[in-house]
Structure 1
Amino acid sequence: MNSTHFAQLPLATPVQLHIVNNEPRPVYVSVLVIDATGEITLLFPHQWAVIEDAAQVKAGETLLIPNPSRDTFHLQTQKPLGVTEVLIIASVTPVRNALKALQTIVKRRNLDSEPVVLPAPIEVIEQLLSDLTPSRDYSVSVTSGISPVDTSQFAAMSITFEVISTLN
C-alpha cells in the first residue's frame, strides 16, 4: 500500500467519468478538478451556449465525461504530479449564479465547448454556495458572514487520487 492511501495513476492515464442520476427527478451537475497546485478546472458543464440545460441530467440518465459521441476533448492524468481531487456536485435546483459567473469567464476567453481553468475560483465557489443557500423563508440563525446550505437539496462526492510519473 502506498503511503498516501490514494490510488496512484501514472501520467497520461485515460479517464472517463460515469455519473448516474438515480433520483426520480432531474439533477443539475457540476464537476470540478483541483490539481496538486490548487488550480481548479471546471470539467462539466462545458457547453457554454446552453449552460443550464447542459448541466441537467434527467432521472435515470448516465452522464459520460467526456462523451465520445459529443465531446472533442479527452481526459487523462497530467502534470502537476501529486494529489488531484475530482469534486462532483449534484443539485435539485439549477446553479444559475455560478453558471452565470462561469459564462462570463468563458466569454472573455472565447471558449465554446470545453473545460475551463478558473482564474478566480473563490468568486465561482461563492456563487455556487449562493445557489445552494436556502430560500429566504428558511428560518435559521446564522453567524454573520456564514450562509446556511440546505443539504437535502444537493449532494457532493469527492474522488481523490495521486498523479505519479510511473507505477512503482
Structure 2
Amino acid sequence: MESLFANFSGVIVFLHVISAVIWVGGMIAIRFAVHYSMQEINDPKIKLGRTLESLRRFFNMVIPSIIILLLTAIIMIIALGFKGTPLYSFVIAKEVIWTIMTIVFIIVFIKRKQAQKAFDEGALANAKEKLLPIANYLIPINIVLGVIAIFLGVTLRGF
C-alpha cells in the first residue's frame, strides 16, 4: 500500500476528496435545491415520480463515490501509518462517521425502493410516506455528518 500511495498519492487524495464532495454536495443539492423545486409541482403523481427519478439518478452517482471513498480511505490509513499516532483518533472518528453515513444511505436506498414499488402499484400515499423520512431527517443527518467528516479530513491533511 505504501508504494501505491507513494506513486499515486495525488490521484488517491483527489479521488477521496471528490467522492466526499459528490456524496455530501449531492445530498445538499438534493435537499436544498431539488426538494424545494419539487414542491412547486402540484400534481402528486408527477411530483412523486420526479422525486423518485431524482433519487435514482443521485444513487447512480453516489454508490460509486461511496466505494471509492472507502477504498481510498483504506489505502491512506495504511500507507500513511496513522495507527498508533495521536492523529489516529481523527481517523477513527472519520471511519465511524462514514460508517454511520453508509448505514443511513442504505436505509435511504431501501426506503426509496419501497416508495418506487408503492408508486408503481399506484399507492401514492404509501410512496409519499416512505419518502418523507428521507427528506425530513435521513439526508439532513448525513449532511451534518458529512460536513463533520470533511472537516476532520481537512484537519488530518493539515498535520
**What TM-score do you get using the length of structure 1 for normalisation?**
0.31
More strand by share: 1
Instruction: Give the structure with higher Rg (CA).
Output: 2
